């Protein structure tokens, strides 16, 4: 048998005028009649971080079983029931460098585990964050080294919390101690960053008028590619392109629902869904596409900023979030705060379900990703940075043992967990921030 068909490069793109579309892993990218065709490719490892602001009610967070298999999930985590075997809940991790306790340092220390310089001016100083350490080592392999996302459209300026510059709670990711990376909350801008056509606001709006869809620009290339691959790859490609089209449709629907106004609408810019949950799900869908197309392997996402006064009337909580977090042990306030916590977790559950439903090589995107969900505050009523609410999801292909609840007897630095997750995606460093070891009982002893 003579095989003449050449494999497609893994980094294959479809390119049109002002558009670039990365592709998911296809069978045609694996060389035929070689050891690589008989042995599955080493899975791509991905890291995701989802930040939940202002802690939680631990009594409604913790599963019933401790240091063993998760039995019944807690009220806040109940939406994760279908994904219970894919998550591990960890208690008694701390951010010692976030003290003296504040909202600003909760956000800034979550990924850096570093002490923020106490300043209200531009001489801020923190430390490089875990996601950017990963981006420096594995980001060169992708179109974007990392992707920084958030849900809040407007950044605050000046002094925000206890004399700290607002930069500390605006930005999760820092590429150096003096370089915070801004996050993007606008779905259309994120879409164009992933799939093409940059430029300023005027250029982007003009581009929207010129084109109906990214995929419309690539019709000929898509048809040509389908002729070169087998039936299984065609089905996989169709599924991926359908997802791209659906995300486009939802962005365009959000844009069409915005009332035409000659004045800038700072509260709801063009293309942002009016409902918080719709916006969040769309941002999670964009993350799935970014991972599926191997556009980036490192993503951070801020569900809301610390001190956010967002209300959630759609779940029966018209109270601003921040004042509720300072509940003074009022049972009614605690219950309403817990409803917000559960709402945020339900959106995270949606994200994990999407990852689990997306094939990737010999497994799924969830198998080949490690996702950290949590907050930099434990008990928000006292700005406590000990006993943080933390979930690690995914990673079955890397040996993560899911379906468990781990509670440490003594506080353990969150930096230990960051160090362990970096290890599992192939980023080897000896220490990180105030780490004093690694979390070894999170993973089975397998070679990754």
CATH code of the domain in which 325 resides: 3.40.720
Q: CA–CA separation, 419 vs 396, rounded Å?
A: 18
- For residue 307, what are its two tokens? 């001190």
For 147, the enclosing helix (H) or strand (E) is: strand 147-150
Q: Are residues 65 and 162 in the same domain?
A: yes
Helix (H) or strand (E) holding 49: strand 46-51
- Asked if 154 and 239 count as a contact pair (C-beta separation under 8 A), the reply is no
The structural domain count of the chain equals: 2
| Within a domain: 203 | yes
What's the confidence (pLDDT) of residue 205?
Answer: 54
CB-side neighbour CA atoms (13 Å) of 107: 28
Q: Which domain holds residue 131?
A: 46-185+297-442
CA distance 26 to 38: 15
Whether 391 is in a domain gets the answer yes
What is the bridge-based pairing of β-strands 46-51 and 369-374?
Answer: parallel
Burial of 308-330, coded b for 16+ CB within 10 Å and e otherwise, reads bebebeeeebebebbebbebeee
222 pLDDT more than 60? yes
Split at pLDDT 50, 70, 90, the class of 262 is very low
Residue 283 lies in a domain: no
The CA distance from 261 to 284, in Å, is 29
Report DSSP state, residue 82: G
pLDDT in tens, 70-93: 988 999 999 999 999 999 999 999
For range 392-396, the mean pLDDT: 92
Q: Which of 280, 178, 196, 182 is nearest to 16 (CA)?
A: 196
Per the domain annotation, does 289 fall within a domain?
A: no
Least confident of 36-50, 111-125, 131-145, 292-306: 36-50
Could you tell me which of 370, 298, 368 has the C-alpha nearest to residue 147?
298
Q: Does residue 379 share a domain with residue 308?
A: yes
Contact 371, 347 (CB under 8 A): no
Poorest-confidence range of 5-14, 64-73, 354-363?
5-14
pLDDT for residue 245 is more than 50: yes
Residues 65 and 152 in one domain: yes
Whether 285 is in a domain gets the answer no
For residue 253, tell me if it sits in a domain: yes
Whether residues 352 and 302 fall in one domain: yes
Phi and psi torsions of 94, nearest 5° = -135, 160
Q: Which residues pair with 360 in a beta bridge?
A: 363
67 pLDDT exceeds 60? yes
Question: How far is Cα 166 from Cα 116, in angstroms, rounded to an integer?
Answer: 12
Question: What's the average model confidence in pLDDT over 422-441?
Answer: 93
**Residues 177, 196 share a domain:** no
> Within this chain, do residues 308 and 176 fall inside the same structural domain, yes or no?
yes
Closest CA to 163 of 119, 100, 117, 115: 119
- HSE-CB of 225 using CA atoms within 13 angstroms: 26
Q: Give residue 6's pLDDT band: very low, low, confident or very high (50, 70, 90).
A: low
Q: Please give the C-alpha separations between residue 243 and each of 50, 215, 239, 268, 282, in angstroms, as whole numbers.
A: 22, 11, 6, 25, 11
Average pLDDT over residues 327-355: 97
Taking 80 as the threshold, does the pLDDT of residue 220 lie above it?
no
Return the pLDDT at 198. 45
- What pLDDT, on the 0 to 100 scale, is given for residue 15? 61
Of 117-126, 187-196, 218-227, the poorest mean pLDDT is in 218-227
**Are residue 93 and residue 10 in the same domain, yes or no?**
no
Q: For residues 315 and 416, state if they share a domain.
A: yes
pTM of the model: 0.82
pLDDT for position 155:
67
Express as a percent the part of the chain with pLDDT over 90: 56
Mean model confidence pLDDT for the chain: 83
CA pair distance 176, 110, nearest whole angstrom: 15
Q: Is residue 81 assigned to a domain?
A: yes
Residues 316 and 255 in one domain: no
Tell me what pLDDT residue 261 has. 39
pLDDT at 122: 86
Based on the fold, state whether residues 123 and 259 are members of the same structural domain: no
Of 271, 289, 307, the residue that ends a domain is 271
Output helix, strand, coil percentages for the chain, rounded to the nearest 5.
40, 15, 45
The helix or strand, by DSSP H or E, that contains position 373, with its residue range, turns out to be strand 369-374
3-state class of 180 per DSSP? strand
Cβ atoms 67, 407 nearer than 8 A: yes
Please tell me the predicted confidence (pLDDT) of residue 13.
Answer: 60
Residues 89 and 165 in one domain: yes
The mean pLDDT value for 175-184 works out to: 93
Whether the Cβ atoms of residue 204 and residue 18 lie closer than 8 Å to each other: no
Q: Are residues 335 and 416 in the same domain?
A: yes
Report pLDDT for 37. 44
- 221-235, 245-259, 260-274, 301-315: the lowest-pLDDT one: 260-274
Across 62-71, 140-149, 212-221, 428-437, the highest mean pLDDT is recorded for 428-437
Q: What pLDDT score does 343 carry? A: 98
Res 18: pLDDT: 55
Does residue 324 register a pLDDT over 90?
yes
Is 131 part of any domain? yes
Among residues 53, 90, 87, the alpha carbon closest in space to that of 417 is found at 90
pLDDT of residue 11: 57
Judged against a pLDDT cut of 60, whether residue 200 lies above it is answered with no
Q: Does residue 159 contact residue 166 with C-beta atoms inside 8 Å?
A: yes
164-165 vs 159-161, strand pairing mode? antiparallel
């Amino acid at each position: 048998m003579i095989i003449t068909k050449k494999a497609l490069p893994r980094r294959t793109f479809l390119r049109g005028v002002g558009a670039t579309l990365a592709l998911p892993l296809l069978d045609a990218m694996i060389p035929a009649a070689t050891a690589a065709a008989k042995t599955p490719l080493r899975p791509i490892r991905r890291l995701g971080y989802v930040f939940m602001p202002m802690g939680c009610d631990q009594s409604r967070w913790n599963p019933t079983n401790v240091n063993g298999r998760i039995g019944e999930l807690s009220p806040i985590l109940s939406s994760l029931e279908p994904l219970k075997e894919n998550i591990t809940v960890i208690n008694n991790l701390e951010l010692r460098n976030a003290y003296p306790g504040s909202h600003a340092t909760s956000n800034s220390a979550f990924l850096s585990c570093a002490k923020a310089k106490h300043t209200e001016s531009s001489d801020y100083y923190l430390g490089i964050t875990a996601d950017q350490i990963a981006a420096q080592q594995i980001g060169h392999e992708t179109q974007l080294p990392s992707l920084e996302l958030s849900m809040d459209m407007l950044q605050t300026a000046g002094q925000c919390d206890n004399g700290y510059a607002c930069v500390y709670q605006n930005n999760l990711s820092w590429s150096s101690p003096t370089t915070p990376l801004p996050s993007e909350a606008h779905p259309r801008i994120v879409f164009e960053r992933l799939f093409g056509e940059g430029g300023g606001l005027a250029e982007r709006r003009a581009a929207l008028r010129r084109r109906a869809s990214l995929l419309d620009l690539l019709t000929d290339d898509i048809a040509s590619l389908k002729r070169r691959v087998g039936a299984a790859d065609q089905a996989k490609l169709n599924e991926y392109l359908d997802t791209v089209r659906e995300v486009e449709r939802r962005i365009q629907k959000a844009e069409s629902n915005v009332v035409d106004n000659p004045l800038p609408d700072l509260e709801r810019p063009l293309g942002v869904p009016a409902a918080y949950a719709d916006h969040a799900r769309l941002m999670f869908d964009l993350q799935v596409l970014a991972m599926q197309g191997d556009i980036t392997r490192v993503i951070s996402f801020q569900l809301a900023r610390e001190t956010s006064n967002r209300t959630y009337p759609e779940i029966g909580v018209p109270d601003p979030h921040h004042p509720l977090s300072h509940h003074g042990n009022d049972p009614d306030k605690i219950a309403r705060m817990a409803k917000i916590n559960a709402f945020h977790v339900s959106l995270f559950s949606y994200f994990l379900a999407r990852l689990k439903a997306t094939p990737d090589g010999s497994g799924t995107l969830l198998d080949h990703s490690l996702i950290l969900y949590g907050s930099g505050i434990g008990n928000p009523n006292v700005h406590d940075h000990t006993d943080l609410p933390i979930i690690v999801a995914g990673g079955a292909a890397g040996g993560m043992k899911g379906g468990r609840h781990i509670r440490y007897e003594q506080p353990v630095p969150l930096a230990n967990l960051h160090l362990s997750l970096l290890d599992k995606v192939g980023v080897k460093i000896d220490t990180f921030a105030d780490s004093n070891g690694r979390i070894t009982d999170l993973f089975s002893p397998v070679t990754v």
